[in-house]
Structure 1
Amino acid sequence: MSPTTLFRVTLVILIGLSAVTLPKLGRADACQQGAEVHVWTAPLEPAPGYPLEVFVVATDGRVDEILVTDPSGTRNPLRNLASDGPPWSNYGTLFRPQQGTYRIQAMRRGQVAACNEVRVGGGSSDRGPGQWDLATEALYSAWIEHLFNAPVEQSLSFKSLAPLLSDPAQNFLYNYLGAREDEGLPAEPDCADLPYYLRAYFAWKLGLPIAYRSCDRGSRTRAPRCQSATIETGFVGTRASVSRFRQVAQALVNTVHSGSVRTSLNDDETDFYPVPLKRDAIWPGTLYADPYGHIMIVVKWVPQSGRSSGLLLAVDAQPDNSVTRKRYWEGNFLFAQTPSAGPGFKTFRPLTRSGGSGWRVLPNAAIDGRSGLPRFATEQARMDPDDFYARMETLINPKGLDPAAAYESTLDALMEQLETRVTSVDNGETYMRAHPGTVISMPSGPAIFETTGPWEDYATPSRDMRLLIAMKVLDALPQRIMRFPQLYVLNGESPARAASRIEQLNAQRLRERSISYRRSDGSSWRLTLGEIYDRRQALEMAYNPNDCIETRWGAPTGSTEASTCRREAPRAQRQRMEQYRSWFSDTKRPPR
């Protein structure tokens, strides 16, 4: 991570979906934008001596090279880090730029794909068109990917969004307005608030409008429904203050909730619309809404390579405001057809000018793909879970996957989920230690999954439901190989033989893989994955923070492990948890 600086310059080159032929730049003053190509610079007032960052983003293929001409006329290639797409990106930095004009050229096959100039010192940058066109949406997608970028093998988890937004190495909009606006900026959105907060933050920096709606939560027989859109234009054409952004962000979080994303797939009066299940339609920034209310944000596709599995990475926020990057798999991305929700991949509905200074949110029929943005599509509404997961597997691993590699990838995802639960349960234990004698009120019925206050922050019913589902997914992989052999590279091996081989591998890994948690007395206790599987019945009632941490990890009564337990949930709460046990044993969340 680079040290925080007060001023930075970021250049983002966006290349459109279709090939664009630009005039050859034969004259010194011929640097220009293309119809679907735009060069963004940041901050609005570039300053000499501070890092000049270059971020090339393309939606039609990778850029080969970035050339930078400095004020003296010296032209050099810029070293950069490339990411696959769409959108494709190339990211590099010029350190200590001098005062004067810099020309940046994105090159492809020896031709200039995009060019713009920025004056460092005494100049004002182009802030863009002030509307959500293809170039701006591509910039938003690139920003999301870079914000959460880290090596795949690295665990990426933060107590809130604030550390990421305040890090100029991750957030190329850091101090974009030049007013030290990110210093001390509170950023603690939870699950449903996270996509809205990110969208509002980006709109604030780029001077864009945003739209959001007030929605109900639906019922067991219908998906949530929303009112007409509130269109916030206070950022447009101005450098809005930090206080103005806080006002807008607060209005958002006071209005939106998980129902805002679970709306029916064919509903026009929504903040989001469903996209096709295609790699070129699911950009970073796309949301995934599961039928039970959890929301993930896609942040990166990692292509399949050799025997290595491809990956789709996403982030989510928890009620305690923690933000964590996770890999796509069935244990995280729950899918089911239910009348109470419209699940699947969705993205923000386009917002466009309606003439003069007015704005309108586009209906489904107008989102036809001709703008270059993903088109409206309802194919997810016609899929059962097996078909959905099979389709996603072909997107992530189009060449198929060796059964053992598929197993190891699934196992890694489960272990990642368990490690995340270690943190969540420990957060609850930390709260209870800091508030001795406290008894957290437990909601009744389905409300245990949706509430506010300490129960929402520290109870784990939704997370534990997902964990129990995830454990079933790993267990069922041999049967999956038998049912969908076309998804795997068997090399002449029969599906039955491959399934048997995976069962043997699973028995071995159950003994080898483990997690550790901190008991009530502060000591560490190790649990193998096999022991956790043996405790599945106990984990059906392990979500209550009023219970000691040993109970929350299923420690058997009277065991050495449980000897340090000093707290138990009230009897009335335990009785209700027993009544709700079937939800967890059947891994089916009840309707509202």
Structure 2
Amino acid sequence: MNSIHGAVAALLIILAPISTIASGKKSTSWVISNPEWTPSFEKQYSEFIAGIGKAKKSGDCSTTDQCLRSRVANPRFYNLNPSNLKSIFADCADLPYVLRAYFSWMNGLPFSFPNALLPAKWFSEENQLILAEIQELQRELADAGFFRRRIINSKIKKLRRQLNGGSRKVPDLRYNADGNVIKSKRMIKNGDDINEVLTSVVGSISTASFRTNASANGEGEKFRDTYPVKVDRDAIVPGTILYDPNGHIAVVYEVTKNGKIHLIDAHPDNSLTAITYGEKFSRTSVKIGGGFSNWRPFTYQDSKVRFKKNEELDNYSLEQFQKSQDFSFEGRQMSFYEFVRNRLSLGNLVYNPVLELRELLGELCYDFRERKLSVDKALDSRINLKDHPEKLPENIYGTDGEWETYSTPSRDARLKASIREGRDLVKKMLRLNSEGSSSVEYSGSNLKSDLLSVYEEEVAKCRIPLTLSDNSNLVLDLDQMLGKIYKLSFDPYHCVELRWGIEDESSAYRCQDSEEKLEWYLQEQGLRNTIDRDYSLKMDFGLGELENAEISDVYQEDISILGVLRTE
């Protein structure tokens, strides 16, 4: 062994958790050997997330499980994975908790997660009395006889309806307008098994777990796991969580020099994707707690928890929750999304239009490729051959079961939002350049012409092969996919042609879907026209009802990037 190899080996031994040195593998039994989350561990966690994100982006892994077992994505810990570590699943909400749990286990750190939530509105002064009465009745149930139990349960149901404003159903905590509060949390103890912990995380965590008041600390073991951060490069780092109140979660893995935020997100089909931050992520009020947040450092020792409160955290801030008109940078009023990029840019943000357009089209190409993987999973599972359900889900963006796993309405809406944002950026750069602004770096003589050339180059390079219903092949380029953006069916019960917007006037049309399914496709056009998702809308319409429903009265917004470049 030469001196360099010896030094590397010695470093690996120093870095390895003590419990792994003897066997070379980590035990699945959790041992809290480091009871405090220190700045050093937070830095290591940030590096861990950065590695996973970059590996996913480069195609080295495509699921959370693959990335955690990858030498490229997880160089420090992959070889410590025990042989009995079970396959690791994560959808979007699970992802940050699963990654945090894995890192905590590998480093002997404490970990906790919420496992029960209640609607925040239940905790008003008026409703506290109702809750107390419900709890008293629940205590009575233990010793009550059969007939008495029926009477007590009837009273409890009536009281719960009072809490819910007369409704029998508890509000969907994922989209609860008033936010949620943590009813209980689980603190991981010595001896807990990582396989069981990860299973429990997946069973307990949803986007509702993040929908809590951003200004709250919590108390005791029920502390809020995250806290909202300042919009700057010291606070928004790899590992920062982004919560979209429309029901999606992503994790930052890179912030570029020019202020772009790159994230990873997971999906119900277990896929992992890499995306960029922009207008496709909605903003929210403080009581719902969306936006960027970091993990709250805490110590867990001798069964006692000590967490850092908001006022003790250097990066804590509620500035993300200001009104839209209140964001400005160096005296210029701007949208929150522009504000974020300007704040995160090293030095003054200067647009290089040619580079910006190449990156934009590259990101859109990547998004379409990821969409193909999702569509192919539905086709491979033969969902398109099943009869179409009699009704749509209550809301197509937030559902469960087969529809959640195989449909793409949220993915498609975010894709349209990215295209719209890209179109607006191109218009902005053309305007700034015509004004001679120092915010644009361009030395040519005809920016629009040069950008059109870039567009033609990039769309030709992005080609996605499809296998049609008769097993013939077709290749779509990026320009074709962008042109069909409002035709792409999000409905997993449709044939491959409709999933990619190939209608019957096309020579490539091979679809054998029934007339009923084709009618569904036609009636879903208003939903395909929708860019900004609304999880509060009723959507469980049947065939014949949808066409005349208010949710179908949506016009197609012009979001064409090519249209901007071809205008005189």
- TM-score for both structures, normalised by structure 2: 0.69
* Structure 1 residue 579 displacement after superposition: 6.0
Contact map agreement 1:446 1:590 (CA 8 A) in 2: no
User: Structure 1 pair 505/205, CA: closer, same or farther in 2 (3 Å)?
Assistant: closer
- Further displaced range: 402-411 or 162-171: 162-171
Q: What per-residue deviation string (whole Å, max 9, x for no partner) do you get for residues 392-426 of structure 1?
A: 33324645231111111111111111111111111
Match of 1:403 in 2: 353
How many residues are aligned here?
Answer: 451
Match of 1:294 in 2: 248
The letter for the 2-side match of 1:343 is G
* Structure 1 residue 265 displacement after superposition: 3.1
User: Structure 1 pair 379/569, CA: closer, same or farther in 2 (3 Å)?
Assistant: farther
2:210 is the alignment partner of 1:258: no
* Structure 1 residue 581 displacement after superposition: 4.1
Q: Please, which of 54, 75, 96 is the counterpart of residue 195 of structure 1?
A: 96
Higher strand share: 1
2:178 is the alignment partner of 1:232: no
Match of 1:74 in 2: none
* Structure 1 residue 586 displacement after superposition: 3.9
* Structure 1 residue 512 displacement after superposition: 5.9
Match of 2:362 in 1: 412
Contact map agreement 1:273 1:349 (CA 8 A) in 2: yes
2:467 is the alignment partner of 1:523: no
* Structure 1 residue 170 displacement after superposition: 3.6
Q: What per-residue deviation string (whole Å, max 9, x for no partner) do you get for residues 540-589 of structure 1?
A: xx0111100111100021422112x2335845x955x7666445424121
Contact map agreement 1:351 1:359 (CA 8 A) in 2: yes
Q: Residue 16 of structure 2: SS of its match in structure 1?
A: strand
Question: Aligned partners of 1:508, 1:145: CA distance in 2, in Å?
Answer: 30
Q: What per-residue deviation string (whole Å, max 9, x for no partner) do you get for residues 278-323 of structure 1?
A: 111122111111231211111234446xxxxx75432111110011
Match of 1:450 in 2: 398
Match of 1:80 in 2: none
* Structure 1 residue 257 displacement after superposition: 0.5
* Structure 1 residue 361 displacement after superposition: 4.2
* Structure 1 residue 537 displacement after superposition: 2.9
Contact map agreement 1:193 1:257 (CA 8 A) in 2: yes
Q: Residue 87 of structure 2: SS of its match in structure 1?
A: coil
User: Structure 1 pair 288/397, CA: closer, same or farther in 2 (3 Å)?
Assistant: same
Match of 1:323 in 2: 272
Q: What per-residue deviation string (whole Å, max 9, x for no partner) do you get for residues 137-165 of structure 1?
A: 2222222223444396x33441x322222
User: Structure 1 pair 429/45, CA: closer, same or farther in 2 (3 Å)?
Assistant: closer
Match of 2:371 in 1: 421
2:227 is the alignment partner of 1:273: yes
Q: Please, which of 117, 142, 155 is the counterpart of residue 59 of structure 2?
A: 155
Q: Please, which of 437, 451, 463 is the counterpart of residue 411 of structure 2?
A: 463
Q: Identity of counterpart residues, as a percentage?
A: 25
The letter for the 2-side match of 1:132 is W
Q: What per-residue deviation string (whole Å, max 9, x for no partner) do you get for residues 186-225 of structure 1?
A: 1011111111111112222223222222335558772531
Question: Aligned partners of 2:484, 2:402: CA distance in 1, in Å?
Answer: 26
User: Structure 1 pair 174/311, CA: closer, same or farther in 2 (3 Å)?
Assistant: same
Question: Aligned partners of 1:346, 1:295: CA distance in 2, in Å?
Answer: 11
User: Structure 1 pair 210/580, CA: closer, same or farther in 2 (3 Å)?
Assistant: farther
Contact map agreement 1:141 1:285 (CA 8 A) in 2: yes
Higher helix share: 2
User: Structure 1 pair 424/314, CA: closer, same or farther in 2 (3 Å)?
Assistant: same
Q: Please, which of 295, 299, 321 is the counterpart of residue 381 of structure 1?
A: 321
Contact map agreement 1:407 1:502 (CA 8 A) in 2: yes
Q: Please, which of 26, 42, 47 is the counterpart of residue 17 of structure 2?
A: 42
User: Structure 1 pair 224/143, CA: closer, same or farther in 2 (3 Å)?
Assistant: same
Question: Aligned partners of 1:414, 1:204: CA distance in 2, in Å?
Answer: 36
Q: Please, which of 511, 516, 533 is the counterpart of residue 589 of structure 1?
A: 533
* Structure 1 residue 462 displacement after superposition: 0.5
User: Structure 1 pair 130/192, CA: closer, same or farther in 2 (3 Å)?
Assistant: same
The 5 Å alignment of 1:73-222 reads 129-150=34-55, 154-158=58-62, 160-168=63-71, 170-171=73-74, 172-174=76-78, 176=80, 181-213=82-114, 214-215=116-117, 217-218=172-173, 222=177
Contact map agreement 2:350 2:441 (CA 8 A) in 1: no
Q: Please, which of 490, 498, 507 is the counterpart of residue 543 of structure 1?
A: 490
Contact map agreement 1:260 1:271 (CA 8 A) in 2: no
Match of 2:161 in 1: none
Match of 1:552 in 2: 499
The letter for the 2-side match of 1:366 is E
Q: Where do 5+ consecutive residues of structure 2 fail to align?
A: 1-7, 26-30, 120-171, 219-223, 328-333, 537-568
Note the aligned Cα RMSD (angstroms): 3.6
Question: Aligned partners of 1:136, 1:559: CA distance in 2, in Å?
Answer: 57
Q: What per-residue deviation string (whole Å, max 9, x for no partner) do you get for residues 472-515 of structure 1?
A: 22322232225777684335889xx6467535644665566433
- Further displaced range: 203-212 or 289-298: 203-212
* Structure 1 residue 534 displacement after superposition: 2.7
Per chain length, whose mean CA-contact separation is higher, i.e. which structure has more relative contact order (CA < 8 Å, sep 6+)? 2
Q: Residue 509 of structure 2: SS of its match in structure 1?
A: helix
Question: Aligned partners of 2:321, 2:438: CA distance in 1, in Å?
Answer: 22
- Further displaced range: 183-192 or 355-364: 355-364
Q: Where do 5+ consecutive residues of structure 1 fail to align?
A: 1-7, 14-38, 52-125, 305-309, 370-374
Question: Aligned partners of 2:212, 2:466: CA distance in 1, in Å?
Answer: 38
Question: Aligned partners of 2:429, 2:323: CA distance in 1, in Å?
Answer: 20
Question: Aligned partners of 2:458, 2:52: CA distance in 1, in Å?
Answer: 34
Contact map agreement 2:228 2:291 (CA 8 A) in 1: yes
Q: Residue 400 of structure 1: SS of its match in structure 2?
A: coil
Contact map agreement 1:287 1:295 (CA 8 A) in 2: yes
- Further displaced range: 400-409 or 128-137: 128-137
Q: What per-residue deviation string (whole Å, max 9, x for no partner) do you get for residues 89-146 of structure 1?
A: xxxxxxxxxxxxxxxxxxxxxxxxxxxxxxxxxxxxx986322122222222222223
Contact map agreement 2:432 2:440 (CA 8 A) in 1: no
Question: Aligned partners of 1:311, 1:442: CA distance in 2, in Å?
Answer: 43
